[in-house]
Chain A
Amino acid sequence: MSESPRVYAVVSRFFDLSAHEIHALLKLRADVFVTEQGWAHTDIEDVDIDGSSRHLLLHDLTQRPMPLLGAARVIDAEVDGRGVAKLGRICLAPASRGRGVSTALLEAAVAMARETFPGRDIVLDAQEPLVEFYSGHGFEPYGEPFTLGPVERQPMVLAI
C-alpha cells in the first residue's frame, strides 16, 4: 500500500477546466460508470456544461503530475417542486480506493453543493451498496428505490 494521499479538491465550472483536466475527468467517469460497471449509457451529458453545474476534481498532492483520485458533480435539480442541489457522478479511481479518500471526496462534494446552491437540501441517488456509506454522513433515504443501469439506486437527502 502506498502512502496516504494528501488530497486537494478543485471545484470548477466545466468551462474553466483545461482540455487535459476535462480529459482526466471524463475518462475517470467513463472508466468507472461505463467500463467497470458494464453500463453502455450516455455518461457525458449537456448538464455537464451548464453554467450552474460544478465539478469536483480531487487530486493527490504527493505525486507529480497530480493524479485524479476522484470526482463528483453538482447540478440544479428539483424534488417535489423545490430546488435542490443534486450530487452525482461520484467516483473514485480504482487506485485510490481503500485509502481513506472516500470520506474526503464526499465531504468535499457536500461542501461544493452547499457553496453552489446555498440553503438547499442536497440529494443524490445512492447506488445500493453505498447506502450505508452515505447514511454515515447524514444522508437519509426518501422515496422508493429504482433501477437505473446495472444497479438499484436509493434516493437520499441531506437536509439543510
Chain B
Amino acid sequence: MRITAGPLRDLTPLQVHQLYKLRVDVFVHEQQCPYAEIDDTDARDTTVHICAWSPEGELLGTARMFPVGEERQFGRFCLAPAARGTGLARTIMERALELGADRPLVLDAQAPLVDYYAGYGFRPAGELFDDEGLPHQPMRREKG
C-alpha cells in the first residue's frame, strides 16, 4: 500500500478518474445524496488529496485537506468497500494529522462518526447542522 498526498495536478488522468469515481460512488450513490460532490476546491493548488493505493494501483481510500483562514479543513474521507475494516482509515487519518499539524484542523463529522473523530483529538465546536438531510457536527482539533 502506498500513500500519496498532493494537489490534483500531480495525479494522472486515471488517478483523477479513480478519485472522483470513488467519491461519487460513496457520497452520492451509496449515501443517496445528489449534492455537488466535485467542487472548485478540488482543483486548487493548495488543496491536498490524500490517496491510498494498492500495489496494483487501485484507489483504496482518500481524504482531502485545504486551508480556510487560519485553519485547515479535512473532508471527503472515504474508503472503497473492499478496504473497509482493514485499518486503512487509521493510516489515512494519521497521515492527515501529520500533514496538517501546522494549523488547527476542522471537519464536519457525519453525526454517527463524532466518537470516531473524538478518538483522534477532535472536539465538537458549534451546533449540529443538517447538510443534504444528513446531520453533521462541526469538530476542531488544535494544532500539533
B36 at the interface (CB under 8 A from A): yes
Choose among A17, A20, A40 the residue that contacts B9 (Cβ–Cβ < 8 A): A20
Is A19 within 8 A of B17, CB to CB?
no
Query: Hey, which chain A residues are within 8 Å of B38, CB to CB?
Result: 23, 26-27, 30-31
The chain B residue with its CB closest to the CB of A30 is B38
CB distance from B50 to the nearest CB of A (A): 16
Q: How large is the interface on B (under 10, 10 to 19, 20 to 34, 35 or more residues)?
A: 20 to 34
Per-residue interface assignment for chain B, residues 26 to 68, with 1 indicating a CB less than 8 Å from any chain A CB and 0 otherwise: 0011011111111110110000000000000000000000000
* A16 to B16 Cα, complex, angstroms: 12
Q: State how many angstroms separate the Cβ of A58 from the closest Cβ of chain B.
A: 19
Q: Is B14 an interface residue (CB 8 A)?
A: yes
A49 CB to closest chain B CB (Å) equals 5
Contact B11–A19 (Cβ < 8 Å): yes
- Give the size of the chain A interface in residues (CB under 8 angstroms): 27
Q: Are A27 and B13 in contact (CB under 8 A)?
A: no
Which residues on B sit within 8 Å (CB–CB) of A41?
28-29
Q: Are B29 and A19 in contact (CB under 8 A)?
A: no
Quick one: which of A19, A24, A42, A44 contacts B13, CB cutoff 8 A? A19
- Tell me, in angstroms, the Cα distance from A24 to B11 when the chains sit together: 15
**How far in angstroms is the closest Cβ of chain B from A16?**
8
Point out the residue from A31, A39, A43 that lies within 8 Å of B36, measured CB to CB: A31
- The answer on a CB contact under 8 Å between B34 and A44 is no
Contacts of A31 in B (CB 8 A): 36, 38
Cβ-defined partner of B42 (8 Å) among A23, A40, A44, A48: A23
- Do B16 and A22 touch across chains, with their CB atoms under 8 A apart? yes
CB of B20 within 8 A of CB of A44, answer: yes
Contacts of A38 in B (CB 8 A): 34
List residues of B (9-23) whose CB comes within 8 Å of A's CBs. 9-14, 16-17, 20-21
Contacts A19-B9, A27-B39 given; indicate if A40 touches B34 (C-beta within 8 A).
yes
Bound: A159/B42 CA distance, A: 41
Taking the closest CB of chain A, its distance from the CB of B86, in whole angstroms, is: 23
A43 vs B36: C-alpha distance when bound (angstroms) = 12
Among A1-42, those with CB < 8 Å from B are 14-20, 22-24, 26-27, 30-31, 34-35, 37-42
* Pick from B8, B25, B35, B42: contact of A42, CB under 8 Å: B25
- Residue of B10, B37, B40 near A34 (CB, 8 A) is B37
User: Which chain A positions have C-beta within 8 A of B111?
Assistant: none
A-B contact pairs, 26 of them (CB 8 A): A15-B13, A18-B9, A19-B8, A20-B9, A22-B13, A22-B16, A22-B17, A22-B20, A23-B8, A23-B38, A26-B17, A26-B20, A27-B39, A30-B36, A31-B36, A34-B28, A34-B37, A35-B36, A38-B34, A41-B28, A42-B21, A42-B25, A42-B29, A49-B13, A49-B14, A49-B17
